[in-house]
Amino acid sequence: MIHTSTYHARIAQTQEWEEKQKEERKRLEEWAARAQQSDDEDGANKGSDEDGDEEDDGLPFACWICRRPWDDQSDPVVTKCGHHFCEHCALKHNAKNKRCAVCDTPTSGIFNTAHDIVKKINAAKTKRGAVEDGEGSR
């Protein structure tokens, strides 16, 4: 038989945990909204870019969890709901929580290779190589 004090302590502990989860979810949603707003503002200012060669493809520039910009070490993955993460971050988050870190949609542990971001990484790497080759021949 469970003592009443133990039972009430467990209920309080569960409620505290649920409250922390709600706060964390709210913090992530606010962060995602700020990031989206920033992306929207960047898109509005796009016409004033001096380069002109960067296209707004709607892809995130970094992992939603660690915020590290994509590189050839990132192994980007995409969820069923369309959010992009580093494979490491996605699997680490999935071990604790089976929902998307951005929108809280169940992921079912399904993370597909983000081929669109891999192409973007490879294009940037090729472009960097071409620029470096051009500078070396001067």
pLDDT digit string (tens) for 17-57?
888 888 888 887 887 777 777 666 665 554 444 333 444 57
pLDDT at residue 54 in the model: 44
The region, left, alpha or beta by phi > 0 then psi within -120 to 50, assigned to residue 5 is alpha
Residues 88 and 75: beta-carbon distance below 8 Å = yes
Comparing 134 with 68, which gets the higher pLDDT?
A: 68
Q: What is the DSSP string of 52-82?
A: ------S--SB-TTT-PBP-TTS-EEE-TTS
pLDDT at residue 85 in the model: 93
The topology (CATH level 3) of 59-138 is Herpes Virus-1 (3.30.40)
pLDDT at residue 29 in the model: 80
Judged against a pLDDT cut of 80, whether residue 81 lies above it is answered with: yes
Task: Map out the domains of the chain as residue ranges.
Answer: 1-46, 59-138
Three-class DSSP category at 137 = coil
pLDDT at residue 95 in the model: 94
